């Protein structure tokens, strides 16, 4: 854990850089995997699963029997918690539905926009270090609300060839029965290119490690849409001397346990709270089962002391965190300063874990400063927008002359003629 005091603005870009593997190493590995799946389909998927996941499979798709068995493998307590999260996430995403508005832009000219669901989508659900059934809730619920006709799920199996029962239970709740035991970059390849078993999709969703993120980036450049670049998880916390250091330490640790490449950043204008937070991290770490992973992630943790809270916000906007926690009692006065963040948590009790699981907002968010230009997943992510227009005789008479002038100015006479012919026909019929 590094503490940096009063960094100059010129240093901020360096401090905002995320830890990562070398670009050439990731590119080479992922490109090879994508090519193998493109050329060999299911055969490559089975071989890669055996090599990378240490699991020998005979079938890629989860069977009906496995779905039924999963229901009895999780407790009623967990089922109830999942249902509560389901209800909140559904409620929040249902509120995002849009009612089409028919606008008369000129007398007789009517325009509107309609949301159409993407026909077939692929959901990648991480399942290596932790089977993230919560991600299936976050992706599956808006996909269902949107009305996507076909939904495929890819998630890595364990060494026994099984999928975590909570993932299968959530899939059953959603009414999704198309799940494949495929993880990593090879899963992205299967969804993008298609194989004998897995039909290609129109858009791929879901977070993952650097290899998954790179695979999504590559297939996106080849024509398959993706939700966003979503790699290793991250959090930035802004606090002052009045914040609870125990809460802050817990939030930093909860983020660090995602994986060794997670990054946690704490910024403040008070050195005492930095020391208190570090003390609480050391104390809480001893009680956590994933402390080896957390300890590795904490090696790149940054504690940054700034001259003011306003400067903390300025740095945060440059960093553009996936998760931003504002641990300030007076957070309302600072909200308008936030311009770049995936999801924001306001006040002492809005822990990031709430957004990760059950408050209702989506936890599939842009990382690695992509929050400067990307939004998190929402209902709109599963939709495409189509514009419509209709023009009456009165409308073309009113707007037609304007179109003729504009088209002629651009020397596109055929465009002008498409209007002129209509106007002449109307005049001749009078």
pLDDT class for 127, splitting at 50, 70, 90? confident
At 232, is the pLDDT very low, low, confident or very high (cuts 50, 70, 90)?
confident
Domains 23-100+118-227 and 232-375 share a fold: yes
Task: Return the CATH class of domain 23-100+118-227.
Answer: alpha beta
Q: Is 23 a catalytic residue?
A: no
Determine the average pLDDT of the residues in 52-63: 94
Counting beta carbons within 10 angstroms of the beta carbon of residue 240, is it exposed (0 to 12), middle (13 to 18) or buried (19 or more)?
middle
Q: pLDDT at residue 1 above 90?
A: no
Q: Which CATH code for domain 232-375?
A: 3.40.50.1980
SS3 state of residue 181? coil
Does residue 323 have an active-site annotation? yes
Instruction: Answer yes or no: is 363 a known binding residue.
Output: no
User: Using one digit for the tens of pLDDT, what is the confidence trace for 166-187?
Assistant: 999 999 999 999 999 999 999 9
Q: Cα–Cα distance between 321 and 355 in angstroms, integer?
A: 14
In the chain, pLDDT over 70 holds for what percent of residues? 99
Map out the domains of the chain as residue ranges.
Answer: 23-100+118-227, 232-375, 392-429
Spatial distance between the Cα atoms of 414 and 430, rounded to a whole number of angstroms: 25
SS (H, E, C) 98-136: CCCCCEEEECCEEEEEEEEECCEEEEECCCCCCCCHHHH
Tokens 């400063």 belong to which residue?
369
Annotated ligand binding at 199? The verdict is no
The reply, when asked if residue 59 is annotated as ligand binding, is no
pLDDT number for residue 24 = 77
Helical (H) or strand (E) element with 408 = helix 393-409
What residues form DSSP beta bridges with 385? Answer: 115
- The mean pLDDT of 320-327, rounded to a whole number, is 97
pLDDT of residue 20: 66
Give the per-residue pLDDT at 195: 97
Burial 407-422 (b: 16+ CB within 10 A, else e): beeeeeeeebeebbee
Q: Which of 93, 234, 257, 322 is catalytic?
A: 322
**Which H or E run includes 389?**
strand 383-391
Structure confidence at residue 339 as a pLDDT band (50, 70, 90)? very high
Torsion of CA 132, 60, 220, 20, to 10 degrees: 50
Q: Are 181 and 155 in contact (CB under 8 A)?
A: yes
- Tens of pLDDT, residues 276-311: 999 999 999 999 999 999 999 999 899 999 999 999
Residue 426 pLDDT > 70, yes or no?
Answer: yes
Cα–Cα distance, 306 to 271 (Å, whole number): 9
Question: What average pLDDT does the structure give for the chain?
Answer: 95
Please give the pLDDT value at position 236: 98
Q: Which of 93, 257, 323, 404 is catalytic?
A: 323
Q: Judge whether 76 is annotated as a binding position.
A: no
Q: How many CB atoms lie within 10 A of CB 387?
A: 8
Domain topology for 392-429: 1.20.5
On whether 66 is known to bind a ligand per the annotation, the reply is: no
Q: Is residue 417 classed as helix, strand or coil in its secondary structure?
A: helix
User: 100 near 114, Cβ under 8 Å?
Assistant: yes
Residue 207 CA to residue 366 CA, distance in Å, equals: 9
Helix (H) or strand (E) holding 266: strand 263-268
The two structure tokens encoding residue 124: 């990648």
123 and 154 Cβ atoms separated by less than 8 Å: yes
In contact, 124 and 95? CB cutoff 8 Å: no
Tokens of 245: 């250091």
Q: Is 323 annotated as contributing to ligand binding?
A: yes
134: Cβ contacts below 8 Å, ≥ 6 apart: 85, 356, 357, 363
pLDDT, one tens digit per residue, over 78-126 is 999 999 999 999 999 999 999 999 999 999 999 999 999 999 999 999 9
> What pLDDT is stored for residue 130 in this prediction?
76
Q: Please determine, for residue 21, whether its predicted confidence score (pLDDT) is greater than 60.
A: no
């Amino acid at each position: 854990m590094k503490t940096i005091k009063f960094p100059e603005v010129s240093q901020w870009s360096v401090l905002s850089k995320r830890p990562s593997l070398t670009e050439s190493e990731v590119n080479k590995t992922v490109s090879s995997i994508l090519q193998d799946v493109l050329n060999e389909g299911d055969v490559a998927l089975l071989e890669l699963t055996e090599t990378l996941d240490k699991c020998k499979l005979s079938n890629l798709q989860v069977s009906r029997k496995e779905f039924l068995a999963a229901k009895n493998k999780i407790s009623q307590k967990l089922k109830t918690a999942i249902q509560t999260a389901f209800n909140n996430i559904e409620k929040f995403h249902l509120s995002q539905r849009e009612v089409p508005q028919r606008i008369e832009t000129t007398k007789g000219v009517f325009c509107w926009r309609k949301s159409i669901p993407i026909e077939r989508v692929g959901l990648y659900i991480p399942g290596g270090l932790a089977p993230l059934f919560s991600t299936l809730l976050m992706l599956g619920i808006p996909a269902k609300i949107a009305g996507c006709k076909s939904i495929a799920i890819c998630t890595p199996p364990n060494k026994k060839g099984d999928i975590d029962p909570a993932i299968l239970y959530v899939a059953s709740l959603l009414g999704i029965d198309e799940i494949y035991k495929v993880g990593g970059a090879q899963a992205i390849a299967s969804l993008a290119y298609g194989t004998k078993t897995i039909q290609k999709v129109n858009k791929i969703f879901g977070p993952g490690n650097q290899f998954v993120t790179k695979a999504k980036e590559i297939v996106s450049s080849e024509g398959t849409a993706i939700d966003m670049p979503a790699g290793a998880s991250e959090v930035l916390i802004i606090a002052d001397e009045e914040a609870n250091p125990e809460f802050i330490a817990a939030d930093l640790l909860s983020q660090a346990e995602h994986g060794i490449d997670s990054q946690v950043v704490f910024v403040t204008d008070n050195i005492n709270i930095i020391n208190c937070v570090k003390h609480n991290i050391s104390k809480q770490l001893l009680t956590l089962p994933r402390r080896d992973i957390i300890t590795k992630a904490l090696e790149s943790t940054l504690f940054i002391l700034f001259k003011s809270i306003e400067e903390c916000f300025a740095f945060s906007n440059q960093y553009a965190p996936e998760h931003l926690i504002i641990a300030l009692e007076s957070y309302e006065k600072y909200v308008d300063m936030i311009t770049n963040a995936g999801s924001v948590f306001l006040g002492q009790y809005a822990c990031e874990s709430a957004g990760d699981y059950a408050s209702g907002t989506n936890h599939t968010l842009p990382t690695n400063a992509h929050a400067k230009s990307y939004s998190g997943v929402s209902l709109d992510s599963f939709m495409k927008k189509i514009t419509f227009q209709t023009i009456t005789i009165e409308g073309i008479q009113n707007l037609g002359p304007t179109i003729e002038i504009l088209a002629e100015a651009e020397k596109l006479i055929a465009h002008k003629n498409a209007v002129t012919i209509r106007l002449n026909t109307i005049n001749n019929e009078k």
